[in-house]
A and B are shown apart, each in its own frame.
Chain A
Amino acid sequence: MGETIIIDDIDVLVVGGGIAGAFAAIKAKEAGARKVVQVDKGHVGKSGNSAFGAGVMHVLLPGEKDEDLSDRLKRLTRAQGYLVHQDLLQDHLEQSWSIVQDLEKWGVEFERTSEGKIESHPGRGARPIIMFHGPQLMHTLMKTGLRMDIHQVHRVTITDLLTHDGKIMGAVGFHIRDGNFFVFKARATVLAMGSTWYKGLLPAHRDCTGDGYGIAYRAGAILRGAENNDQISHAMPARFDIGPGLNMWQGLGGRWLNAKGERFMEKYNPVLKDQAGLRNIMYAFLLEIKQGHGPIFMDMTHFTPEQVQRMRKVIPLPTKMFERVGVIVKDRVVQPVEWMLCPPTGRPGIRVNRRFETSLPGLYACGEAAASSAVVTGLSCAATSGATAGINAAHFAHDTDKSSIPQDQVERLKEKAFAPLQRRDGFSPEQILLAIQENIIPYEIILLRKKDRMERALENIEYVRDNYLPEIKAHDFHLLKNCHEVKNLLFVAEAQLKTSLFRTESRVGLREDYPYTDNENWLKWIELKNEKGEMALSTSPVPIEEYPIKVDRDRKIHYVWKLAEKLNIITIKGGEVRWE
Chain B
Amino acid sequence: MGIRSIDQRLCTGCGTCVENCPLDVLRLDEKGEKAYIKYIRDCQGCFLCEFECPEGAIYCSPIFEFGITKAW
Residues of A bordering B, CB below 8 Å: 42-43, 46-48, 51-52, 135, 154-155, 176-177, 200-201, 203-207, 233, 237-242, 289, 294, 316-317, 320-321, 324-325, 340-343, 430, 434, 437-438, 441-443, 447, 478, 481-482
Report the bound CA distance from A207 to B39 in whole Å. 14
Instruction: Choose among B1, B24, B63 the residue that contacts A42 (Cβ–Cβ < 8 A).
Output: B24
Q: Is the CB of B72 within 8 A of A241?
A: no
B5 → chain A closest CB, angstroms:
13
B68 → chain A closest CB, angstroms:
6
Q: Which residue of B lies closest to A445 (CB)?
A: B71
Q: Is the CB of B62 within 8 A of A177?
A: no
Q: Is the CB of A205 within 8 A of B44?
A: yes
Q: Is the CB of B19 within 8 A of A443?
A: no
Asked if A324 meets B71 with Cβ closer than 8 Å, knowing A48-B22, A206-B23, the reply is no
Q: Is the CB of B23 within 8 A of A201?
A: no
Interface residues of B in 19-34 (CB under 8 A from A): 19-24, 27
Write out the residue numbers on chain B whose beta carbons fall within 8 Å of the beta carbon of A478.
24, 38-39, 42
Q: Is the CB of A441 within 8 A of B69?
A: yes
A382 → chain B closest CB, angstroms:
17
Write out the residue numbers on chain B whose beta carbons fall within 8 Å of the beta carbon of A237.
62
Q: Is the CB of B71 within 8 A of A341?
A: yes
Q: Top 3 nearest A-B pairs by Cβ distance?
A: A47-B22, A204-B46, A206-B44
Instruction: Flag whether B13 is at the interface (Cβ < 8 A).
Output: no
Q: Is the CB of A324 within 8 A of B62?
A: yes
Q: Which residue of B lies closest to A205 (CB)?
A: B44
Main secondary structure of the interface of B (DSSP, over half): loop
Q: Which residue of A lies closest to B72 (CB)?
A: A443
Write out the residue numbers on chain B whose beta carbons fall within 8 Å of the beta carbon of A438.
69
Asked if A241 meets B2 with Cβ closer than 8 Å, knowing A201-B70, A203-B62, A341-B71, the reply is yes
Interface residues of B in 40-70 (CB under 8 A from A): 41-42, 44-48, 50-51, 60-64, 68-70
The contact sample of 16 A-B pairs, CB cut-off 8 A, is: A43-B22, A46-B21, A155-B24, A177-B27, A204-B48, A205-B44, A240-B64, A241-B2, A241-B45, A317-B47, A321-B45, A343-B69, A430-B41, A437-B69, A478-B42, A482-B42
Q: Is the CB of B47 within 8 A of A201?
A: no
Q: Is the CB of A317 within 8 A of B71?
A: no
Q: Is the CB of A176 within 8 A of B24?
A: yes
Given A177-B27, A294-B72, 17 more pairs with CB closer than 8 A? A51-B48, A154-B19, A155-B24, A176-B24, A200-B69, A203-B45, A206-B44, A207-B22, A233-B71, A239-B64, A241-B1, A325-B61, A340-B72, A430-B41, A437-B68, A437-B69, A443-B71
Write out the residue numbers on chain A whose beta carbons fall within 8 Å of the beta carbon of B24.
42, 155, 176-177, 478, 481
Report which residue of B2, B20, B63, B72 has the largest number of chain A beta carbons within 10 angstroms of its beta carbon.
Answer: B72
Write out the residue numbers on chain A whose beta carbons fall within 8 Å of the beta carbon of B68.
200-201, 437
Write out the residue numbers on chain B whose beta carbons fall within 8 Å of the beta carbon of A321.
45, 47, 60, 62
Residues of B bordering A, CB below 8 Å: 1-2, 19-24, 27, 38-39, 41-42, 44-48, 50-51, 60-64, 68-72
A403 → chain B closest CB, angstroms:
29
Write out the residue numbers on chain B whose beta carbons fall within 8 Å of the beta carbon of A204.
22, 44-46, 48
Q: Is the CB of A240 within 8 A of B62?
A: yes
Report the bound CA distance from A325 to B4 in whole Å. 14
Write out the residue numbers on chain A whose beta carbons fall within 8 Å of the beta carbon of B70.
200-201, 238, 340, 441
Write out the residue numbers on chain B whose beta carbons fall within 8 Å of the beta carbon of A205.
44
Write out the residue numbers on chain A whose beta carbons fall within 8 Å of the beta carbon of B38.
478
Q: Is the CB of A447 within 8 A of B71?
A: yes
Report the bound CA distance from A443 to B71 in whole Å. 5
Q: Is the CB of A320 within 8 A of B51?
A: yes
A498 → chain B closest CB, angstroms:
21
Write out the residue numbers on chain A whose beta carbons fall within 8 Å of the beta carbon of B64.
239-241
Report the bound CA distance from A176 to B2 in whole Å. 22
Report the bound CA distance from A317 to B62 in whole Å. 11
Report which residue of B2, B27, B50, B71 has the largest number of chain A beta carbons within 10 angstroms of its beta carbon.
Answer: B71
Write out the residue numbers on chain B whose beta carbons fall within 8 Å of the beta carbon of A324.
60-62
B54 → chain A closest CB, angstroms:
15
Write out the residue numbers on chain A whose beta carbons fall within 8 Å of the beta carbon of B48.
46, 51, 135, 204, 317
Write out the residue numbers on chain B whose beta carbons fall within 8 Å of the beta carbon of A176.
24
Write out the residue numbers on chain A whose beta carbons fall within 8 Å of the beta carbon of B51.
135, 316-317, 320
Q: Is the CB of B71 within 8 A of A441?
A: yes
Q: Is the CB of A320 within 8 A of B72?
A: no
Q: Which residue of A lies closest to B45 (CB)?
A: A241
Q: Is the CB of A289 within 8 A of B72?
A: yes
Q: Which residue of B lies closest to A155 (CB)?
A: B24
Report the bound CA distance from A487 to B64 in whole Å. 26
Report the bound CA distance from A434 to B46 in whole Å. 21
Report the bound CA distance from A475 to B41 in whole Å. 16
Asked if A46 meets B71 with Cβ closer than 8 Å, knowing A206-B44, A241-B62, A317-B47, the reply is no
Q: Is the CB of A52 within 8 A of B63?
A: no
Report the bound CA distance from A114 to B42 in whole Å. 43
Report the bound CA distance from A340 to B71 in whole Å. 8
Write out the residue numbers on chain A whose beta carbons fall within 8 Å of the beta carbon of B22.
42-43, 46-48, 51, 204, 207
Report the bound CA distance from A176 to B48 in whole Å. 20
A341 → chain B closest CB, angstroms:
5
Write out the residue numbers on chain A whose beta carbons fall within 8 Å of the beta carbon of B23.
42, 47, 206-207
Report the bound CA distance from A42 to B20 in whole Å. 8
B27 → chain A closest CB, angstroms:
8
Report the bound CA distance from A135 to B50 in whole Å. 13
Asked if A207 meets B72 with Cβ closer than 8 Å, knowing A241-B64, A316-B51, A478-B39, the reply is no
Q: Which residue of B lies closest to A202 (CB)?
A: B44
Report the bound CA distance from A202 to B53 in whole Å. 23
B16 → chain A closest CB, angstroms:
11
Write out the residue numbers on chain A whose beta carbons fall within 8 Å of the beta carbon of B45.
203-204, 241, 321
